[in-house]
Amino acid sequence: MNRLIAGLLLLAPLWGQDARGIVEESQRRSRAESQRYEGTLEVIDSKRKITVKRWVYERLGSAGESKAVLRFTAPAEVKGVALLIHNHPERASDQWMWTPAVQRERRIAFQDRRTRFFGTDFTFEDLEERDVDRSTYKLLGEEQALGAACWKIEAAPKPEARSQYSKSLLWIRKDIYVMTQAEGYGKDKLARRIRYSDIAQVQGIWTPRMLEVRDVERGSTTVMKIERLQYNVTLPAERFTLQALRREQ
């Protein structure tokens, strides 16, 4: 394993000419068997009204083949609302939302993936993890983003990987291979911009602990702050099932 890692590090300078390799290395460096954090969401609408929500997020497995649950914990009117996501390497994720008030789950239809997730500026599609092989990549050059030297990469979903975005632009830091900005375009019109900041090492993994999502058309913004983040925690597989979604309120 050490020999393999050493070989990858020797190849790293060559990836400056290989857009797919840069994205793949970024995913490799952030890989963990599991993840758990508590988060705060501040939603700022176009009239500057602010609403605050809190949630707990848990993930089991690596990018592309993971399962995740996010569950709101506050305020009272959304407490217990949860989303279960089963990611797949070859196709779109399966997603179910649980609403305690009606005591049932709702499967998120594919055509609804572009809708906003529970009043935030994330869409349901934004919450899934995509395998690197579901897109094609083009290196557009190098550019500063949020004060850091980055590779600028264009990613386009393959025909079989249906998406609300016709393309995305990604800014990945050259020093630590962490994404600092992403822009999603629908029919070549900017739809959503995500900025990643407060980047620090957590258990050896460089991690953005603040995300700012801007819905360009609506003029609204969601700021997500990650707290109490842990990687490689013990999480039972049965927690990521519909039965657990209904049971854990």
Q: How far is CA 40 from CA 61, 70, 171, 210, in A?
A: 23, 12, 24, 10
Average pLDDT over residues 178-192: 94
Return the pLDDT at 130: 81
Question: Integer distance in angstroms from the first to the last C-alpha of the chain?
Answer: 42
pLDDT band for position 162 (cuts 50, 70, 90)? confident
pLDDT band for position 240 (cuts 50, 70, 90)? very high
Average pLDDT over residues 132-138: 93
Q: What is the pLDDT of residues 11-43, one digit of tens each?
A: 444 444 599 999 999 999 999 999 999 999 999
- More confident position, 1 or 186: 186
Return the pLDDT at 246: 82
Return the pLDDT at 2: 40
* Listed residue (35, 96, 27, 101) closest to 64, CA to CA: 27
Q: How far is CA 38 from CA 3, 5, 56, 87, 205, in A?
A: 36, 32, 5, 21, 17
pLDDT band for position 79 (cuts 50, 70, 90)? very high
Domain boundaries, the chain: 2-247
Residue with tokens 């390497």: 89
Check whether 10 has a pLDDT greater than 50: no
Return the pLDDT at 187: 85
pLDDT band for position 155 (cuts 50, 70, 90)? very high
What percentage of the chain carries pLDDT values higher than 70? 92
pLDDT band for position 249 (cuts 50, 70, 90)? low
pLDDT band for position 102 (cuts 50, 70, 90)? confident
**Residues for the chain: how many in total?**
249
Least confident segment among 165-169, 187-191, 230-234 = 187-191
Q: What share of the chain is helix, strand, coil (3-state, %, to 5)?
A: 20, 50, 35
Average pLDDT over residues 205-228: 96
Check whether 108 has a pLDDT greater than 90: yes
Nearest-5° angle of CA 139, CA 3, CA 149?
Answer: 30
CATH 2.50.20.10 for the 2-247 domain, yes or no: yes
